[in-house]
Chains A and B, each alone.
Chain A
Amino acid sequence: MTKPGQRRTLIVAALAVSAALPFVLTEYEATLASFTGIAAIAALGLVLLTGVSGQTSFGHATFVGLAAYTTAWMSRYGGWSPVAGLPAGLAIAGGTAFLLGLITSRISGHYLPLATIAWCASFFYLFGILPGLGGYNGFGEIPPLFPGISTGTAAALIGVILIAVTILAANLLTSRTGRAMRALAQSRIMAESVGIDTARLARSTFVLAALLAGLAGWLFAHVQRYVSPAPFGLSASIEYVFMVVIGGVSQLGGAIVGAAIVVLLRDQLNDLLPRLLGSSGNFETVAFSLAVIASLQYAPRGIAPAATSLWRSGNRLLNRPPPAKLGLPRDVSWPGLARPSTTTPPPTLERAAAHARSLPVRPKPPRGSLILQTTALEKRFGGLIAARSIDLAVHAGEIVALIGPNGAGKSTTFNLCSGALAPTAGSIRLLDQPIQGQGARAIARRGLARTFQHVKLLPEATVLDNIALGGHLRARAGFVRSMLRLDRTEEAALLQTACFQAGRVGLTDVLNAPAGTLPLGRQRLVEIARGLCLDPSIFLLDEPAAGLRLQEKQALAELLRALRDEGMAILLVEHDMDFVMDLADRIAVMDFGEKIADGPPGQIQDDPVVREAYLGGVA
Chain B
Amino acid sequence: MDNAILLALLQDGLTTGAIYLLLAVGLLIAFSVTRAIFIPQGDLVSFAALTLASMIGRHIPGTIWLLDSLCAAALALSLARGRLNAVIPYGLAPAVLTIATLAATRYGAPTAVSAVLSLGIVTALGPLLYRFAYEPLGEASVLALLIVSMALHFVLIGIALYCFGAEGVSTPALTDASFDIGSVTVSGQSLFVGLVCLAMVGALRWFSVRTLYGKALRAAASDRLGARLIGVDHVLSGRTAFALASFAAAVSGLLIAPITPLSYDTGFEIGLKGFVAAVIGGLASYPLAAAGALIVGTIESFSGFWASEYRNIIVFSLLIPVLIWLSLTRGNPEDRA
Contact = CB atoms under 8 A, between A and B. Distances in A.
Question: Do A and B touch each other in the complex, judged by CB within 8 A?
Answer: yes
A114 interface: yes
Interface in A274-314: 277, 279, 281-283, 285-286, 288-290, 292-293, 296-297, 300
B317 A122 contact: yes
A502 B279 CA distance: 45
A289 B136 contact: no
B208 interface: no
A282 B158 contact: yes
Contacts of B337: 187, 454, 456
B140 A289 contact: no
A88 B166 CA distance: 39
A190 to B, nearest CB: 8
B80 interface: no
A516 to B, nearest CB: 11
Contact of B151 (A106, A117, A289, A454): A289
B150 A111 contact: no
Contact of A114 (B157, B162, B279): B279
Contacts of B272: 117, 121
Contacts, number: 144
B335 A111 contact: no
A128 to B, nearest CB: 9
B151 A111 contact: no
B146 A118 contact: no
A326 interface: no
B147 A245 contact: yes
- Determine the interface band of chain B, counting residues with CB < 8 A from chain A: 35 or more
B332 A189 contact: yes
B199 interface: no
Contact of A121 (B146, B310, B312, B336): B312
Interface size class of A (residues with CB under 8 A): 35 or more
A286 B157 CA distance: 8
A285 B316 contact: no
Nearest to B141: A110
A282 B161 contact: yes
A201 to B, nearest CB: 14
A188 B317 CA distance: 26
B152 A293 contact: yes
Interface stretch (B16-24, B88-96, B238-246, B319-327): B319-327
A56 interface: yes
Interface in B1-53: 37
B138 to A, nearest CB: 9
Nearest to A126: B313
Given A56-B147, A286-B158, 16 more contacts: A58-B150, A103-B320, A110-B333, A111-B333, A112-B323, A114-B275, A114-B319, A118-B323, A121-B313, A121-B316, A125-B309, A235-B154, A277-B162, A289-B155, A296-B147, A300-B140
16 contacts: A108-B327, A110-B143, A111-B323, A115-B319, A117-B272, A118-B319, A122-B312, A125-B310, A235-B154, A238-B151, A282-B154, A282-B161, A286-B159, A288-B151, A290-B155, A296-B144
Q: Lowest 6 A-B CB distances belong to which pairs?
A: A286-B158, A109-B334, A109-B333, A289-B151, A118-B319, A289-B154
